[in-house]
Structure 1
Amino acid sequence: MKHKQLSSIPFLLFFLLFLAACKEEEYAIPTLPQTLQNDVIKRTLGPNLVGQNIEFAYAMAIPKSLGKLTSAQVEASIAGAEATYMDNKSYNTAGNGEDVGVPVGSVSTNAGGKTTVTFTADTIAATLRYFYRIPAAAKGQEVSFTFSANASNGQTVSYKMGPYKIAEMDMVLDLDVKDSSAAYISIEDMAVYNPTQAATNAAKVDLVYLYRSIPNVAFAHGLVAPSAKTYLPGVTLPSGVSRSAKVRRAWALRDFHLARLQYGIYIDDLDFQQLNLDDAPDFAINLRAESGAWVETADGKYRAYIYVNSINNATKSAKISIKRYTLK
């Protein structure tokens, strides 16, 4: 019995040490750095397209005992388009989840690639949103950003973001097409023409939009190359309009940029680069709202994705949006 009691002592010691090791450490309030601090997050997702925004949230703070914020700047390696700006409101999230903005500075100014807000409120902390409108000059390039803030005690802090690749795609939104009138689509021009305009731009017309209600045939809304005469019932093509194209219908491919719906995916440059339409026909019929079609022009110069935003059977019309990639 005495031998058993002695042998249990090491186990007891081990158990007590285990309990001590598992004891939670006491919480200590973090010590606030006694200097100007900053941080940045990128808010936008997906490919960066010319004419669209890249959005950031820039946070900065300084201990009250050291002074206050005086200005915030962002300098882009490629100057943004005219619509580039930094919001002069500092945002916080209310209890209902809504963002609430409080004005803290002057309206931002742009000088070259630099955008500046000068603080007018006596504040030691702020989060400002920066919207970089992607210029045509940045297409296919990389752009970087340097965020910086200044305090009344002379301290300066900065934060670098990027580089970010700007897509080579082009995009146009909400083109109206209508049977027999606004029916001729040019991928090169990313435009819709009426018959008179189509005759003038015949070498650029790639697709004809039409609507047909044919008994026992699922035709409805179609995007058909002028070469596919069988699928252009009752259509008299304008003079010179005769090009072919490769067309493949796509279901449930809701690109966020084109569709602007709650759920979807992003079509990027790589999708066009890897696209294979070798066996595609020259027509797509029975298209519906939120469907689309991949297209390659007859000269192999362009690939595109045409998204059907909405359709109207009664008026034989639809609204479409296009992403286009120029092949090298």
Structure 2
Amino acid sequence: MTGKIFQYTTALAAAVLMFASCSDKDYEVPQPKNELQNDAIKRSIGPSLVGVRMEFAYAIALPASKGKLVSAQVEASIAGAPATYLEHRSFFTNGGGQDTGVVVANPSENKGNITSVTFTKDTMAATLRYYYVPGEEARGKEVSFKFTATASNGQTVSYDLGPFKVANMEMKLDIPVADAGARYISIADMAAYNQADAAANADKIDLVYLHRTTPSSFGHALVAPAADPQYLPGITLPAGANRNTKLMKVWQLRDQQLSRDQFGIFIDDLDFQKLDLGEGVNYTLGLAKDYGVWLETADGKYRAYVFVNSASNPNKTAVISIKRYTMK
């Protein structure tokens, strides 16, 4: 029995120490007690977006002499999208530093705003991952979570997290553009169209992607349809494509959600609200990987940040990702 209690204490301590390493400096590690305990943290960082999952870790444990875990659930103040789930595996870090999951419960079920699992393994400690995907109902609102666990001895514990603000802005990742293909970009549709499709959506075209080797400074470019034709060499615009989008090029503003790299930089709603494009122009030249472009559409409805994930000079292609904020 002593060995089992030590196992319980070690498991809970390991879980909460992991939490402490990721939390604020004033976080205090809970002390193991002779009863059911729980703890939770939000693991994902950066703005919360509709359709982009938020990740949490939920640790629960009790002494082996007090029973075993029976169930766990998370109640969200706003029901998540169908992709919301609570892991039925308990995670620990192996000797190689890798997260390893062990099945301890049935796959979770969503009923309204509650996501729950029932334990199937005889276990007295577990760390579960919870993935909440904000739906459209949560846009621009705050969401909170109540984590709850029950044990076979009838004990119940709960842990509250939040509130967390869900941003108004939207995001679209990895849109391929090509000088000889999908070169016409619509911020309203968050999409790139080829010549034929652009003709059917001409009033939505905010940008034209192109690549030119002469002059050498031209390179990869994003240009408004209303720009001087010298910035659209060889381009025959679809009839009706005439928007005068304001643009401003920046370097090394590598939003982590767009770039998915190690830089802890995040563009949020407030950045779009405060954006000043008073000196913006309607063309940007010499773009390359990791460059970005702030923009405002001609009707003032949208502000956006376009990030260049990759660019190929030989192929005259690029991949872009977009964050967009609706102004009105």
TM-score, structure 2 normalization = 0.88
Q: Deviations over 1:5-35 (max 9, x none)?
A: xxxxxxxxxxxxxxxxxxxxxxxxx984232
Q: Hey, what does 1:226 align to over in structure 2?
A: 225
Matched ranges for 1:202-281 at <5 A: 202-215=202-215, 217-228=216-227, 229-281=229-281
Q: Which amino acid aligns with 1:322?
A: I
1:107 is the counterpart of 2:70 = no
Higher mean Cα deviation, 92-101 or 37-46? 92-101
Q: Hey, what does 1:25 align to over in structure 2?
A: none
Higher mean Cα deviation, 163-172 or 100-109? 100-109
What is the SS of the residue equivalent to 1:49? coil
Following superposition, which runs of at least 4 residues in structure 1 exceed 4 angstroms of deviation?
none
Count of matched residue pairs: 298
Contact 1:253–1:264 (CA<8 Å) still a contact in 2?
A: no
Q: Deviations over 1:162-184 (max 9, x none)?
A: 11100001111111111143111
Q: Deviations over 1:46-97 (max 9, x none)?
A: 1001111111110111122221110000011111111111111111112221
Q: Which amino acid aligns with 1:116?
A: S
Deviation at 1:138, TM superposition (A): 0.8
Matched ranges for 1:67-82 at <5 A: 67-82=67-82
Q: Which amino acid aligns with 1:174?
A: D
Deviation at 1:230, TM superposition (A): 2.3
What is the SS of the residue equivalent to 2:273? helix
Distance in 1, Cα, partners of 2:180 & 2:303: 25
Q: Hey, what does 2:164 align to over in structure 1?
A: 164
What is the SS of the residue equivalent to 1:214? coil
1:64 is the counterpart of 2:74 = no
Q: Which runs of 5+ in 1 are unaligned?
A: 1-29
Q: Deviations over 1:237-264 (max 9, x none)?
A: 1111111010011100111111111224
Q: Which amino acid aligns with 1:278?
A: G
Q: How big is the alpha-carbon RMSD for the aligned residues of Structure 1 and Structure 2?
A: 1.3
Task: Report percent identity of matched pairs.
Answer: 58
Higher mean Cα deviation, 90-99 or 238-247? 90-99
**Highest CA radius of gyration, 1 or 2?**
1
The alpha-carbon distance between structure 1 residues 64 and 205, as it changes in their structure 2 partners (threshold 3 A), is same
Q: Hey, what does 1:17 align to over in structure 2?
A: none
Distance in 1, Cα, partners of 2:236 & 2:203: 17
Distance in 2, Cα, partners of 1:327 & 1:31: 48
The alpha-carbon distance between structure 1 residues 65 and 264, as it changes in their structure 2 partners (threshold 3 A), is closer
Distance in 1, Cα, partners of 2:150 & 2:297: 53
The alpha-carbon distance between structure 1 residues 195 and 61, as it changes in their structure 2 partners (threshold 3 A), is same
Contact 1:184–1:209 (CA<8 Å) still a contact in 2?
A: yes
1:95 is the counterpart of 2:95 = yes
1:311 is the counterpart of 2:311 = yes
Q: Hey, what does 2:176 align to over in structure 1?
A: 176
Q: Which runs of 5+ in 2 are unaligned?
A: 1-29
Q: Hey, what does 2:51 align to over in structure 1?
A: 51
Distance in 1, Cα, partners of 2:31 & 2:76: 34
